[in-house]
Each structure stands twice: as C-alpha cells, then as structure tokens.
Amino acid sequence: MRYDQARWTQAGDSSEGTADQYEPLLSEKNTETVAVESPLPDDLTRDELELPALEEPQLARHYTRLSQMNYGVDSGPYPLGSCTMKYNPKFTEDVAALGDAAVHPDRSDRSVQGTLGLMAGLQDYLARIGGMDAVSLQPPAGAAGEFTGILVAKAFHEQHGEGETRDEIIVPDSAHGTNFASAALAGYDVVELPSGEDGRVDLEALEAAASERTALFMLTNPNTLGLFERDIEEIAEIIHGAGGLLYYDGANLNALLGRARPGDMGFDIMHYNVHKTFATPHGGGGPGAGPVGVTDELAEFLPAPRVREAGGGGSRGHEGEARGTDGVYELFDPESTVGKVHGFEGNWLVLVKTYAYIARLGDDGLADASAKAVLNANYLASQVDYDVPFEPFHHEFVASAGDQDAADVAKRMLDYGVHPPTTKWPEIVPEALMTEPTEIESKATLDQLAEAFDRVAGEDDETLAEAPNRTTSRRIDQASAARNLRLSWQALDGE
C-alpha cells in the first residue's frame, strides 16, 4: 500500500483521516502599513495600504505548502485523456533561461539574429515533422492555432472567388470542442458528422455532407478514441473532390511522431499543440504556443511576420517583401497574409522550450516517444477492470465506467493518490473514462494507476458518491461553483 503524500493518510484506508490543511493568506500572516503618495486625485487614492510583510523563508514555505495542496505533472501520474498532460523536463527551462528571457521583443532584427535563427530552425523542424511546406509560430495556443488555420482557409477560398459560397465546416461528433467553437467563431456553419459503428469517420455520411459549400473538414488522427482513421486517403479524396480543404487537429500528433505525417495523408493545414507533443508547459494561466503548418499553396496566407534566411532562402511559398536586416535571418510578411494573430513573433520562451525538446530527442528520440506512448496506453488498458469498447487504439483509450458514474469514479481515484482520466467524453462511449498515460510513465506508475482504477471499480455507489475525502478540498458542488462565480477571496468575506 502506498502513501499519497507524507502527511496524508494511507491510500485506501477506510478511516476518516484527511490532508486537512488550511494555509492562511499572506495578508493573514503578517502585514505592515505603508504610506502612499500619488499625484492622482484624492478620491481615487488612499493615504496608506496594508501589505504583506514576510521574510523569505516564510514566503517560500507559504507557496510550497500551496503547491503541496495541488496536483500536477510533477506530483504524479496525470492520465487526462486527449489533454496529454506530459511531464515538462527541466532542461528546457534551463535552456530558456540562458539569456533568452532578456531578449526584448522590440529589438532590431540585426541585434537578435540568434533568436531569429532558432525560430527559423523551429519552423523547419515542425514542417518536417508534420509534412508541411511552411509554418507560422505566432498563434499563442492550440485553439488560437485552429482559428488561425481556419482564417488561412477562408483567405484561400476568398482568393478563388468562393469566400461567400463555401460557408460550412464539417466536424466529427468525437472532435475536440474547440473545433466547433473555432469554426463558429470564424463565421462558419458547423456540420456535425456522426461517427461510424467502429468509432471512425463514416465515409457515406462524409460523402453526403461534403458539397460546394464545404470550406474545411477538421479531423484528429488518431481520433479521440485513440483510433487511427484507416480511410484517411479516401477522406482526403472526398474533401478535395468537393473543393474543400482538410485540416489536421494536432492534439494527437504524439501518437505519430517519426512514423506518419499529416501532410503525407493529404492534410492541407494543421496546428501543433506543443504542450501536448513537445513537453512545453500546459496552461495554468501562462503563455502557450500553437504553431500552424500549411502546404505550399497556402503559405502566402500565413500570419505575419515569419522568419527566413536573408534574401529569401529557406521555405518559401509566395513570400512577400522583407522588413529589412543586415543579418543572416530576416522577418517578412507573406504576400497575402491574414495579418497578425499575436504580439511580436509569438510566445518566444515557449518556442525555445519546444526547439530544445525536439533538438534533444532528435528523429530517433521522437519516434521512441511515440512508440512508448502507444505501448503505455495499451499496457494500462490491459490491466484495467473496465470495458474498452473501441480497439485497436494507439496513444489513448476510452473505457466505460458501466453502471458507475464516471464523474464519481474520477473523484474517488483522487483518494488513491493519482489524477483521474477525462470523464463523460467523447459521448459515444457511455460514462467515458478517457485515459492517456503518455510515454513518460514507468511500468510501476502504470501499475499504480491500474490498481486505482480496479479498486474504484469494485466499490459501491455510496462510497463513490462521497469521494473525494482524502484531498485538501472535499467534494464540491460543481454546477453551483460554475454558475455562481467567486473570482476573488473577498467574495467570501463574512461567510
């Protein structure tokens, strides 16, 4: 039997012991009054402020205790299906800290040649990995990459006189919710495509949906059930035959690294989730990155600016005028660019980490990562006492909780010291438990996850309905929390 954390009760213990901790706010620990002088009008200012007054050890311990009350990729296994919560290796943080943080984004091109050279190298890395001809590093997240890719497709159709008539985007019912949202945000009508009995794209349904109104078909391959779309060539023929473009959602690229490329399958546009595939930080309120790759005929529409070798070298594709530089690398605006989608050239430090991860692993390392991701998912599924209705899967699988409530299963798993999988989605699996261990977990950790799954599978509904009871925060009313937002601790004052 294992322990969740040093101060926590033994996992699986039926006692009522918990990680019952309360960490006071900094202002509740110690404060000092500071006089305030301001040129602003008196009715807009205060004469004094109460600010926290803590020494460094107190401050360090405060944030350490807060971190111990949370769960993250540094705490333990995090098999959140489709989100690919991959451990972030610390060497990438070291690389990003090697002076790169001091590079002001508004410096001249001539003075940041190293920065531009790295960006040019990353564009080429990503293009080669995805089978694309040109890449933009600007979008700040995967969803932003989706939206940017749709804007590129729209610009392409407008240039061909079909901007008004091609007003539909087809999205499978198992797709990520951002696909539907991005398409609608770009002004398109969304056509939801039902999955076939095998969990893959239904070719007959796709043929019926594709028409002269189709601008784009957005597809994840492998899909969210972990299933590879074996008919991808036929899918590409159907969409291209209707005059549409094929979009690759890069959420599951982790399963294909070094083995298959979206461009070779017939995809015209794709985005890369660098946090899912190349181990950069995943969310948490910080910056992200969602580069977009396209085939040559779409390169001229990519966001501005892009990077190239001075004089127009490197990946081209209807390139526009350079902005001017005395160095080896230069920024330029593609000829028919959709414009800027983010400040400057994108979230630079996230891109540094992406480059470092790819360069460190190399071709063989990336292929090995995808192999282990698939192996880990299949091993874990073989050890779990829940039904997995769709096979053969690759890097992730979707089990069914059966008669149990998937949300209750997830909450109970927290009591066994592991993070639960994604629940209730995709909806084509009843009480879905969408699980993705990634390549980073050892067999011992996979066995730990399997034990948690199996212990919960054998528990009664009453036990599950009360979970979790060994975490810092007990079971919460999620619906009320979402509908009655309290965005500041002051909202609790007096309660």
Beta bridge partners of 190: 169
Q: In the block, which residue shows the tokens 């919960």?
A: 456
| pLDDT tens, residue by residue, 171-227 | 999 999 999 999 999 999 999 999 999 999 999 999 999 999 999 999 999 999 999
Residue 7 has what pLDDT?
33
Would the pLDDT of 9 be above 70? Answer: no
Q: Are residues 308 and 392 in the same domain?
A: no
Between residues 473 and 237, which one has the greater pLDDT? 237
Short-list 479, 457, 466, CA closest to 18: 466
Most confident option among 49-53, 117-121, 473-477:
117-121
Asked if residue 417 is part of any domain, the answer here is yes
Q: What is the CATH number of the domain that holds 333?
A: 3.40.640.10
Residue 336 shares a structural domain with residue 390: no
Does residue 365 belong to any structural domain of this protein? no
Q: Residue 14: pLDDT above 50?
A: no
CATH number for 454: 3.90.1150.10
Q: Are residues 159 and 31 in the same domain?
A: no
- Report the DSSP pairing between strands 269-272 and 292-294: antiparallel
CB burial of 5-23 (b: ≥16 within 10 Å; e: otherwise) equals eeebbebeeeeeeeeeeeb
* Same domain membership, residue 461 and residue 312: no
Q: Which residue has the higher pLDDT, 257 or 23?
A: 257
Q: In terms of domains, do 279 and 400 share one?
A: no
Q: Give CA separation, 494 vs 5, 482, 490, 491, in Å.
A: 33, 21, 9, 9
pLDDT-based confidence at residue 62 (cuts at 50, 70, 90):
very high
Least confident of 1-10, 84-93, 238-247, 249-258: 1-10
pLDDT of residue 361: 97
Residue 93 included in any domain: no
What kind and span of H or E run contains 136? strand 134-136
Q: What is the pLDDT of residue 494?
A: 54
Residue 316 has pLDDT above 60, yes or no: no
462-484 burial: b if 16+ Cβ within 10 Å, else e: eebeebbbbbbeeeeeeeeeeee
Residue 25: pLDDT above 90?
no
- Same domain? 187 vs 301: yes
pLDDT value for 193? 97
State mean pLDDT over 54-61: 93
The predicted model gives 246-268 an average pLDDT of 97
The two tokens of residue 293 are 């790759």
Question: Taking the model in full, what pTM does it have?
Answer: 0.89
* Alpha carbon 347 to chain centroid, angstroms: 15
* 494 and 424 share one domain: yes
Q: What is the pLDDT of residue 99?
A: 67
For the chain, what percent of residues have pLDDT higher than 90?
A: 74
Provide the pLDDT for residue 3. Answer: 32
8 A C-beta contact, residue 149 and residue 270: yes
Domain finish residue from 312, 346, 380: 346
In a domain, 51, yes or no: yes
Is residue 414 in a domain? yes
15 lies in the same domain as 44:
no
Mean pLDDT for the stretch of residues 448-473: 95
Judged against a pLDDT cut of 90, whether residue 23 lies above it is answered with: no
14 and 60 co-located in one domain: no
Task: Count up the domains in the chain and report the number.
Answer: 3
Of 292, 311, 346, the one marking the end of a domain is 346
Report if residue 74 sits inside a domain.
no
pLDDT above 70 covers a percentage of the chain that reads 90
CA distance 134 to 230: 26
Q: Render pLDDT for 145-182 as a digit per residue (tens, 0 to 9).
A: 999 999 999 999 999 999 999 999 999 999 999 999 99
Report if residue 359 sits inside a domain: no
User: Is the separation of the CB atoms in 336 and 134 below 8 Å?
Assistant: no
Does residue 96 belong to any structural domain of this protein?
A: no
Question: Is pLDDT of 92 > 60?
Answer: yes
Give the sign of the dihedral formed by CA 346, CA 112, CA 128, CA 234. Answer: positive
Spatial neighbors of 274 by CB under 8 A, at least 6 apart, are 280, 288, 289, 290, 291, 350, 351, 353, 354
Direct distance between the N- and C-terminal alpha carbons of the chain, in angstroms, rounded to an integer: 39
Q: Which residue has the higher pLDDT, 453 or 45?
A: 453
Domain match, 6 and 42 both: no
Cβ count near 63 (within 10 Å)? 11
Strand 214-219's sheet: what is its strand order?
A: 134-136, 292-294, 269-272, 245-250, 214-219, 168-172, 189-193
| The pLDDT value given to residue 474 | 87
Statement to judge: residues 45 and 12 lie in one domain: no
Residue 234 pLDDT level (bands cut at 50, 70, 90):
very high
Q: Three-state DSSP class for 327?
A: coil
pLDDT, position 479: 87
Q: How confident is the model at residue 36 (pLDDT cuts 50, 70, 90)?
A: confident
Considering the domain architecture, whether residues 31 and 164 belong to the same structural domain is answered as no
What confidence score (pLDDT) does residue 21 get?
A: 65
Per the DSSP assignment, residues forming a β-bridge with 31 are 52
**Average model confidence (pLDDT) across the chain:** 90
Task: State the residue range of the domain holding 38.
Answer: 26-68
**pLDDT for 286:** 72
